[in-house]
């Protein structure tokens, strides 16, 4: 899972928090780029605080913060610093249950992709369920196919804020959407 | 032939696909036009070489125009035919070198090898290693704190004003073999006392020249960030 990451991923001191402030800033932003890269190549929408990919609400596979090939791993406090930086620079959203949505594209990008899908397939003014949007055959081949529902909610809310969508809710959960 | 509701959809589908094909055609045409324009610009530069060389004002304006439509000035120069003033070619390289040094300063503490400059940035512009060396020589006359030094026969460029001491240079020399240095390694190779090694290594970490690795077995290792690029081309 981590084979395709750039060579800096195997640079041993990357796993030790650097004392020099300037270097540490560089180190943190390197980690942010690595996480984005990792999430994108593995098609991961969601990661645990421990750095594993979460699919179907189960975490699986190895953690990005542990590099077996060079026997190095990130300490817990430094890991939290990396996540803070991710959230601060709007490359991740922390959800209520402690998992992180990785924004290898911005929420704005996703919402405009979804809008584009509605427009090109002529689904404007029709009600489409979130399930259809994310798992249906009609969105196969679109980047947002298979997206995590919570991240999709964020994107749909952007559309609603722009006055382009009405959201249908059931028990406080968005079930469907109508784009106008 | 479709029946029922599906029969209405096909028309709509066609309409969107024609729009899409028109848009992608326009996109292609624009790309081609821009390419042609860029080629013409290069040809223009060759024909009016003499005027360009003689009038610095004309030259400046021309280069600025090239930059604004996405023609990298370096790609315009032709060393053999002395397109423009040949020195301009080196000035452009100088500017690029300064940009790269600025950008990578926080990663490598302001020390970059010629190999890294060449393979990482300049090879794509067909700039040779000796062109690079000539440009760096020109930078030195500016007295802007750029300095070339050698470690085990390899040339490095230092772009930060604090000069490397002899001891620091020797540590970088040790790093160029395995990628790192440590107190015991320095004791074995240079017969330095641990106190001396410790002080210099810590200072180099503070300057950003070395990165600490505290997870190695036995002792702390001090890594040279140049390792990242070396492993990339290995």
Higher pLDDT, A67 or B141: A67
Confidence of residue B86 (pLDDT cuts 50, 70, 90): low
| Least confident interval from A28-37, A122-131, B65-74 | B65-74
Min distance B224 CA to chain A CA atoms (Å): 9
Token pair 């990451």 is found at A5
Q: Which residues of B touch A (CB under 8 A)?
A: 9, 12-13, 16, 20, 106-107, 109, 180, 205-208, 211-216, 221, 223, 225, 227-228, 231-232
- Looking at domain A7-102, which CATH architecture does it have? Orthogonal Bundle (1.10)
Residue of A14, A23, A125 to mutate for B, most B C-beta atoms under 10 A: A23
Report the pLDDT value the prediction gives residue B74, as an integer from 0 to 100. Answer: 66
Min distance B23 CA to chain A CA atoms (Å): 13
Report the pLDDT value the prediction gives residue B78, as an integer from 0 to 100. Answer: 58
Report the pLDDT value the prediction gives residue B134, as an integer from 0 to 100. Answer: 82
pLDDT one-digit tens code per residue, A68-77:
989 999 999 9
Handedness of CA B92, B94, B95, B100 (dihedral sign): positive
With a cut of 70, say whether residue B142 has pLDDT above it.
yes
d(CA B65, CA B42): 12
Instruction: List CB contacts of B128: < 8 A, sequence separation 6 or more.
Output: none
The string of DSSP letters for chain B reads ---TTHHHHHHHHHHHHHHHHHHHHHHHHHHHHHHHHHHHHHHHHHHTHHHHHH-HHHHHHHHHHHHHTT--HHHH--TTTT-S-HHHHHHHHHHHHHHHHHHHHHHHTTEEEHHHHIIIIIGGGT--HHHHHHHHHHHHHTTSS-EEEEETTEEEEE-SSSPPPHHHHHHHHHHHHHSEE-HHHHHHHH---HHHHHHHHHHHHHTTSSEEETTSSSS-EEE-THHHHHHHH-
Mean pLDDT in residue range B130-150:
80
Out of B106, B208, B228, closest to residue A8 by CB: B228
Share of chain A above pLDDT 90, in %: 35
Query: What ipTM was reported for this prediction?
Result: 0.79
Higher pLDDT, A32 or B42: A32
B209 near B105, Cβ under 8 Å? Answer: no
With a cut of 60, say whether residue B131 has pLDDT above it.
yes
Higher pLDDT, B157 or A78: A78
With a cut of 90, say whether residue B115 has pLDDT above it.
no
d(CA A149, CA A118): 17
The residue among A25, A89, A13, A28 whose CA lies nearest residue B105 is A25
pLDDT one-digit tens code per residue, B171-224:
988 888 888 999 999 999 899 999 999 999 999 998 888 999 999 988 999 999
Contact check, Cβ <8 Å, B231/A10: yes
> Chain A contacts of B14, Cβ < 8 Å?
none
Distances (CA, A) of A112 to A55, A144, A152, A153, A155: 24, 11, 12, 13, 8
With a cut of 60, say whether residue B80 has pLDDT above it.
no
With a cut of 80, say whether residue A58 has pLDDT above it.
no
Contact check, Cβ <8 Å, B106/A25: yes
Q: What is the CATH number of domain A107-179?
A: 1.10.10.10
Out of A10, A11, A16, closest to residue B215 by CB: A16
> Chain B contacts of A16, Cβ < 8 Å?
211-215
pLDDT one-digit tens code per residue, A133-155:
888 888 888 888 888 888 898 89
Which residue of chain A has the CA closest to B234? A7
Report the pLDDT value the prediction gives residue B169, as an integer from 0 to 100. Answer: 87
Report the pLDDT value the prediction gives residue B76, as an integer from 0 to 100. Answer: 64
What average pLDDT does chain B have? 80
Min distance B150 CA to chain A CA atoms (Å): 24
Confidence of residue A9 (pLDDT cuts 50, 70, 90): very high
pLDDT one-digit tens code per residue, B8-33:
565 556 667 788 888 889 999 988 88
A38 near A64, Cβ under 8 Å? Answer: yes
Mean pLDDT in residue range A82-104:
90
The residue among A47, A34, A149, A150 whose CA lies nearest residue A92 is A47
d(CA B59, CA A158): 49
The domain ranges of chain A are: 7-102, 107-179
Confidence of residue B125 (pLDDT cuts 50, 70, 90): confident
Out of A18, A25, A71, closest to residue B211 by CB: A18
Out of A20, A72, A122, closest to residue B205 by CB: A20
Min distance A95 CA to chain B CA atoms (Å): 32
The residue among A167, A168, A166 whose CA lies nearest residue A180 is A166
Share of chain B above pLDDT 70, in %: 84
Mean pLDDT in residue range B71-99:
69
Report the pLDDT value the prediction gives residue A88, as an integer from 0 to 100. Answer: 94
With a cut of 80, say whether residue B54 has pLDDT above it.
no
Which residue of chain A has the CA closest to B229? A7
Which residue of chain B has the CA closest to A11? B228
Mean pLDDT in residue range B103-119:
82
Report the pLDDT value the prediction gives residue B210, as an integer from 0 to 100. Answer: 92
Q: Which long-range contacts (CB under 8 A, 24 or more apart) does B68-74 make?
A: B69/B34, B69/B37, B69/B38, B69/B41, B70/B34, B70/B38, B71/B38, B71/B41, B71/B42, B72/B125, B74/B125, B74/B127
Confidence of residue A87 (pLDDT cuts 50, 70, 90): very high
Confidence of residue B52 (pLDDT cuts 50, 70, 90): confident
Min distance A126 CA to chain B CA atoms (Å): 14
Distances (CA, A) of A159 to A110, A144, A154, B7: 10, 15, 9, 31
d(CA B170, CA B119): 25
Report the pLDDT value the prediction gives residue B51, as an integer from 0 to 100. Answer: 76
CB pairs under 8 A between A and B: 61
Confidence of residue B231 (pLDDT cuts 50, 70, 90): confident
The tokens describing A110, both together, are 């996703």
**Length of chain B, in residues:** 234
What average pLDDT does chain A have? 88
Contact check, Cβ <8 Å, A11/B208: no
Instruction: List CB contacts of A35: < 8 A, sequence separation 6 or more.
Output: A47, A51, A64, A82, A86, A91, A92, A102
Report the pLDDT value the prediction gives residue B232, as an integer from 0 to 100. Answer: 66
Share of chain B above pLDDT 90, in %: 14
């Amino acid at each position: 899972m981590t084979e395709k990451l750039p060579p800096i991923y195997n640079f041993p001191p990357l796993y030790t928090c650097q004392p020099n402030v300037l270097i540490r800033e560089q180190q943190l932003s390197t980690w942010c780029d690595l996480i984005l890269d990792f999430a994108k190549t593995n098609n991961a929408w969601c990661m645990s605080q421990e750095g594993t990919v979460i699919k179907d609400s189960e975490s699986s596979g190895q953690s990005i913060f542990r590099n077996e090939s060079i026997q190095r791993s990130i300490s817990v406090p430094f890991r939290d610093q990396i996540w803070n930086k991710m959230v601060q620079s709007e490359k991740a959203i922390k959800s209520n249950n402690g998992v992180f949505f990785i924004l290898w594209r911005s929420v704005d990008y996703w919402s405009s992709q979804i809008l584009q899908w509605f427009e090109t397939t002529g689904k404007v003014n029709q009600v489409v369920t979130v399930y259809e949007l994310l798992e249906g055959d009609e969105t196969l081949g679109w980047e947002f196919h298979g997206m995590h529902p919570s991240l999709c909610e964020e994107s749909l809310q952007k559309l609603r804020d722009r006055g382009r969508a009405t959201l249908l809710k059931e028990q406080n959960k968005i079930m469907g959407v109508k784009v106008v | 032939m479709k029946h029922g509701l599906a029969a209405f959809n096909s028309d709509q589908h066609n309409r969107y696909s024609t729009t899409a094909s028109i848009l992608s055609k326009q996109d292609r045409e624009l790309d081609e036009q821009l390419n042609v324009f860029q080629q013409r610009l290069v040809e223009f530069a060759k024909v009016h070489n003499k005027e360009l060389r003689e009038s610095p004002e004309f030259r400046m304006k021309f280069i600025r125009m090239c930059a604004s439509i996405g023609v990298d000035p370096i790609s315009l120069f032709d060393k053999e035919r002395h397109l423009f003033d040949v020195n301009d070619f080196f000035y452009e390289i100088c500017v690029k070198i300064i940009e790269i040094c600025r950008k990578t300063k926080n990663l490598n503490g302001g020390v970059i090898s010629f190999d890294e400059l060449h393979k990482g940035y300049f090879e794509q512009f067909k700039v040779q290693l000796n062109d690079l060396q000539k440009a760096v020589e020109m930078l030195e006359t500016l007295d802007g704190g750029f300095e070339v030094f050698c470690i085990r026969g390899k040339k490095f460029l230092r772009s930060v004003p604090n000069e490397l001491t002899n001891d620091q240079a020797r540590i970088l020399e040790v790093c160029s073999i395995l990628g790192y240095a440590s107190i015991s390694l320095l004791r074995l190779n240079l017969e330095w006392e641990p106190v001396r090694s410790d002080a210099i290594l810590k200072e180099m970490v503070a300057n950003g020249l070395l990165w600490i690795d505290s997870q190695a077995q036995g002792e702390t290792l001090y890594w040279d960030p140049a390792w990242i690029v070396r492993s990339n081309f290995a």
